Chain A
């Protein structure tokens, strides 16, 4: 009985493993030759949650399309000049903890450097995201939210779209912010911000 069934099972598992490996390989790293969008699958056994969720802080973020995986998220507030604080190292991804939590109505705002002290930043390849790419945010309460990229904008810091980025929304949304545009060496600052806008598509825990 098992003799006839187990080879089938082995082949099925092997095929599944191959598909998973292929998916992972295709999603790793900045995908310059990428066709189509990068999506996230609901893990087996997870229970779907209705959006919006109750507030819970992000504890991890995955952006497969640009090879970003973080199992910690730094909380950001305001600098003394009331600008958004930024992570104090290159790789860390921060979340504006005075704004919306991911999965609640409103924009959950994340920021990471494009390049910091010569080190490639967490959002170095943010501008490679395209509409339809998915972002997975893990929350402190054990739930996870998938956001879908709507658009990627580049805006001058002098004309930062504050209301569009931080203003209230009728659904759960996400913003990913880094720097872009020309680099002003004398001020060690980029002229622009790259901003990804997205909305929550589904959640589970």
Chain B
């Protein structure tokens, strides 16, 4: 199963208020690659941008593989429905006991990521 670890989208087109964003903070979504984020982190290990939210010395390990393939040359309406749900309340679905375990496992992940979000994006 694909678990997209990313939680930031690379900003590819916000030229009209880019200054407003960039003057605030850098976050993982602003980098094309983990290497680029790591380089900024290495340049200042005090990590003013909080690129290493879990303090393990690795910046933006969640940097978006999934969103790196974002479609940048399309300006139409998004197509079709919106995939804003993959499970039922309670974490169980159709007798999938494994999914319940997955729900618990991802709960910690989601919480961690949310914490990182708050650190990185609180502006």
Residues of A whose CB lies within 8 Å of any CB of B are 55-57, 59, 71-92, 94, 96-98, 101, 111-121, 123-124, 140-141, 155-158, 160, 162-163, 165-167, 177-180, 183, 185-186, 188-190, 192-193
Contacts and interface: CB of A to CB of B under 8 A. Distances in A.
A59 B14 CA distance: 14
Interface string B104-123: 10110110011001101111
5 contacts: A74-B117, A88-B7, A114-B85, A117-B102, A119-B107
A77 B81 contact: no
A177 B82 contact: yes
B104 to A, nearest CB: 7
Interface stretch (B31-39, B40-48, B52-60, B91-99): B91-99
B75 A186 contact: no
Main secondary structure of the interface of B (DSSP, over half): loop
Given A56-B20, A193-B84, A119 B71 contact: no
A71 B122 contact: yes
Contacts of B13: 97-98
A55 B15 CA distance: 11
Contacts of A188: 86-87, 93
Interface of B: 4-9, 11-14, 16-17, 20-21, 24, 29, 66-67, 69-72, 74-94, 96, 99-100, 102-104, 106-107, 109-110, 113-114, 117-118, 120-123
Given A78-B70, A118-B87, 7 more contacts: A77-B71, A79-B71, A85-B70, A119-B110, A120-B89, A124-B89, A158-B81
A44 B111 CA distance: 34
A83 B69 CA distance: 13
Contacts, number: 197
Contacts of A87: 7
B85 A82 contact: no
B81 A118 contact: no
Nearest to A55: B16
Nearest to B103: A118
Given A91-B114, A111-B84, A190-B85, A59 B123 contact: yes
A75 B9 contact: yes
B17 A141 contact: yes
Contact of B82 (A56, A72, A179, A186): A179
Contact of A163 (B12, B21, B77, B82): B77
